[in-house]
Structure 1
Amino acid sequence: MNQVTVITGGSRGIGAATARRLANTGHDVAFAYLRDHDAAASVVADIQAAGRRGVAVPADTTDPDQVTALFDAAAELGEITGLVNNAGVTSPIGPFVDLDPADLRRVVDVNLIGYVLCAQQAARRMSAGAAIVNVSSAAATLGSPGEYIHYAAVKAATDTLTLGLAKELAARGIRVNGVAPGIIRTDIHAVSGVPDRPDSAAGRIPLGRAGEPDEVATAIAWLLGPEASYTTGTVLRVAGGL
């Protein structure tokens, strides 16, 4: 069966690393991105260089119509066999009492509602043998005090989504798992106002360093693949010991 995987937030960071890794292991890839056309084009070029088909779809995953358009574009590549729910945002690091309601709503919209909308589309279109991977965060069990408790809470909801959906879709032969990265060297930290966080936080990571996007992509690829055929409803932690 031809493998066709949808990735959200695929133009940068973990999403881009996952797109490239999956292409190198035989997947055709359709990915959503928000605004960086050059970065998206670069990922498509790398997918094609690996001998696979790639399509970049500008889409806001909080909009149901745009999510439908993303999956329609993916379906043109063939039956959808995988989804990587990866698009995510944080907000400025700071005390819980200073949280701006607009930031709260954006974090919930992108990191939870967007995941639900994409998982719905995937569940409607997938058949036995397909798999979903939700990108969570180690923050879900750490709480992120003094940083972004609301983000941690939403990622805990992601883990619950993973567990519930895994149980609901198991009878159809569709697996659902999650990965929980720790502090990974991507540009998401700039949004929080601490662009050097991967280095400044290294001292509290047991392995003594931040992770790389490829290290998370490897875990995602495993969860999507046949080697993980008896794994569902689990969240694989890729956090350097956090």
Structure 2
Amino acid sequence: MHLTDIHCHLLPGVDDGPDTIKGAGRLLDLMKEEGVERIIVTPHFHPEIFETSMERIQRFHGGLREMARRRRIRLYLGCEFYRCPEMIHLLAEGGRPSMAESSYVLVEFAPDDVYQTVRNYIYELRSQGWKPIIAHVERYECCHRDSRRVRELAELGASIQVNASAVLGKRGVRTKSFCKNLIEADLVSFIASDAHDERGRRPNLGKCARYVAKKYGQDYARKIFEENPEKILRDRRRK
């Protein structure tokens, strides 16, 4: 299986990922050990918390891309947008990147956001021609309370992403059960590592892919970890 990680924080010194280029290199080594061949790095954009300049992000992305190339990993640039009123404008003006220059946008919500807030942002992104990916949906209490809401968001045009650690049970039994129900309802489009560091939030995509393949079959695992990410990389936003 050709694994692609679509959500992780490997760029040094731009958010809460690694502090140094050496730390980023060690994360790349762990990614390689996990069998990851392609990565979309997704530094946070969160007003007043993570607003690193695009010049700095692009500079570190260029350096890390060369390090990844030496490990035979292809690296692409994306962004994890925290939902905010500026999001649509930043995307339209190129102030922050979409996922690998595609129409796909990774968007994060607050754990206690009400469902209508989530729904409104998804609707607005879709109305502007973007393809939203809801980051780690297992964190949002409004969806936990009623999983039918996840189906409604998917029917609105959102792709659903869950974290590998949640699928593997590292975030508790309740969260693992929630992810299991979404997978069995065929509502999950992407599983990603959301890796940040070498300890508590380390790369784990290979382990999760093996678990998913064993539990749900090779064809399903290939769809989640290979075919669906390929759709992002083949997509191109019309300028």
What band does the TM-score fall into relative to the shorter chain? Answer: 0.3 to 0.5
- Structure number with higher relative contact order (C-alpha < 8 Å, ≥ 6 residues apart): 2
Normalising by structure 2, report the TM-score.
Answer: 0.40
Normalising by structure 1, report the TM-score.
Answer: 0.39
